[in-house]
């Protein structure tokens, strides 16, 4: 291999390594996971990730320098968003590799959800079938701004912190299926616990908005509960 060949390869792999260095921190991965839900301000990201504002800003700067995220100023706020959907795909790929190869990840996950009596989630195909039969009520227990950025058709926005005050509005003759940001988001597990303690039939939904977008499933934006194509349609067309 000549010097020119070696220099070319070094340059290419250095650019790929920029991505690896940018995501080589657990809190940056959490920020990417949050941004898969939709654009957020630094303040929102800091609050949701339990990071000090300064730390959140520093992590976002690393991600911005690697061109994985971009910031847009809106008045006195800077709103961050993923550079494009490919970044969310990168995060999901990293997560799937960890799920496949690391027993510790499976063990921690199984223990947490078993403790919250929410180990076995409902899959998307089962939910679609039961929704068509009007057998379930779907709750999006994420914060309202994440619901507005994209949610499952027919889902009601009931943020976890408001759930206890909304129980009287929920039917007891149907199963309640709660979802949040993804398979490791704890909001849905806590929601299932609240509902079951109050005598509801409750389950959590596998996956989240990022996974559904990757699969091409139809999501709804804003405050709507139904897509334009009609109730229950979620086939990605």
Q: How many independent structural domains does the chain possess?
A: 2
Q: Answer yes or no: is 43 within a domain.
A: yes
**Strands of the sheet with 156-157, listed across from one edge:** 156-157, 136-140, 175-179, 202-204
If asked whether residues 133 and 65 sit together in one domain, one would say no
Q: Which of 36, 88, 180, 185 is catalytic?
A: 180
* 19 half-sphere exposure, CB direction, 13 A CA radius: 12
Please give the DSSP secondary-structure letter assigned to residue 199. Answer: T
CA 161 → CA 37, 164, 176, 183, 194, distances in Å? 19, 7, 17, 20, 11
* 180 flagged as catalytic: yes
Judge whether 235 lies within some domain.
no
How is residue 153 annotated by DSSP?
Answer: T
Per-residue pLDDT of the chain (237 residues; tens, 9 = 90+): 788 889 999 999 999 999 999 999 999 999 999 999 999 999 999 999 999 999 999 999 999 999 999 999 988 889 999 999 899 999 999 999 998 999 888 888 878 777 666 557 888 888 888 888 888 999 999 999 999 999 998 899 999 999 999 999 999 999 999 999 988 888 998 999 999 999 999 999 888 887 887 777 778 887 655 543 333 334 433
Q: Classify 230 in phi/psi space as left (phi over 0), alpha (psi -120 to 50) or beta.
A: left
* pLDDT of the residue at 237: 30
Q: Which of 130, 132, 114 is closest to 192 using CA atoms?
A: 114
Output the domain CATH number for residue 24. 1.10.10.10
Q: Confirm whether 220 is domain-assigned.
A: no
pLDDT at 119: 57
Q: Is 14 helix (H, G, I), strand (E, B) or coil?
A: helix
Residue 102 in domain:
no
pTM of the predicted model as reported, rounded to 2 decimal places: 0.81
Residues 51 and 135 in one domain: no
DSSP secondary-structure letter at 169?
Answer: G
Tokens found for residue 189: 């597990």
* 230 part of a folded domain: no
Residue 232: per-residue pLDDT: 39
Residue 181 and residue 144 share a domain:
yes
pLDDT value at residue 136: 92
Which residues are 151's β-sheet partners? 220
Residue 186: give the domain boundaries.
110-214
Give the bridge partners for 204, in sequence order: 178
Half-sphere exposure of 198 (CA within 13 A, CB side): 20
Together in a domain, 81 and 120? no
In residues, how long is the chain?
A: 237
Domain assignment present for residue 196? The answer is yes
Residues 59, 134, single domain; the answer is no
User: Is residue 157 in some structural domain?
Assistant: yes
DSSP labels, 81-116: EESSHHHHHHHHHHHHHHHHH-HHHHHHHHHHHHHT
| Cα–Cα distance measured from residue 236 to residue 166, given in angstroms and rounded to the nearest whole number | 31
Q: Which residues contact 207 (CB under 8 A, 6 or more apart)?
A: 124, 179, 182, 183
Helices (H), 41-172: 42-49, 53-65, 85-101, 103-115, 124-132, 144-149
| pLDDT recorded at residue 3 | 85
State residue 230's pLDDT score: 36
């Amino acid at each position: 291999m000549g010097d020119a060949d070696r220099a070319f390869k070094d340059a290419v792999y250095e650019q790929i390594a920029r991505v690896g260095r940018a995501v080589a921190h657990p809190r940056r991965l959490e920020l990417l996971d949050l941004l898969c839900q939709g654009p957020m301000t630094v303040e929102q990201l800091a609050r949701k990730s339990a990071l000090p504002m300064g730390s959140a800003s520093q992590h976002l700067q690393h991600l911005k320098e690697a061109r994985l995220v971009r910031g847009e100023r809106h008045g006195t706020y800077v709103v961050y968003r993923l550079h494009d959907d490919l970044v969310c795909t990168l995060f999901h790929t990293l997560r799937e590799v960890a799920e496949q190869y690391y027993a510790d990840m499976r063990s921690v996950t199984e223990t947490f959800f078993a403790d919250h009596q929410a180990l076995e989630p409902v899959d998307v195909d089962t939910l679609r079938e039961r929704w068509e039969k009007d057998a379930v009520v779907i709750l999006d227990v994420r914060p309202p701004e994440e619901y507005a950025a994209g949610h499952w058709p027919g889902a009601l926005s009931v943020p976890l912190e408001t759930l206890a005050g909304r129980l009287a509005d929920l039917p007891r003759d149907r199963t309640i299926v709660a979802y949040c940001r993804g398979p490791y988001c704890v909001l849905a597990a806590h929601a299932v616990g609240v509902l079951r303690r109050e005598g509801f039939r409750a389950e959590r939904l596998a996956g989240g908005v990022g996974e559904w977008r990757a699969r091409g499933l139809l999501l709804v934006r804003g405050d709507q509960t139904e897509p334009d194509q009609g109730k229950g349609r979620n086939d990605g067309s």
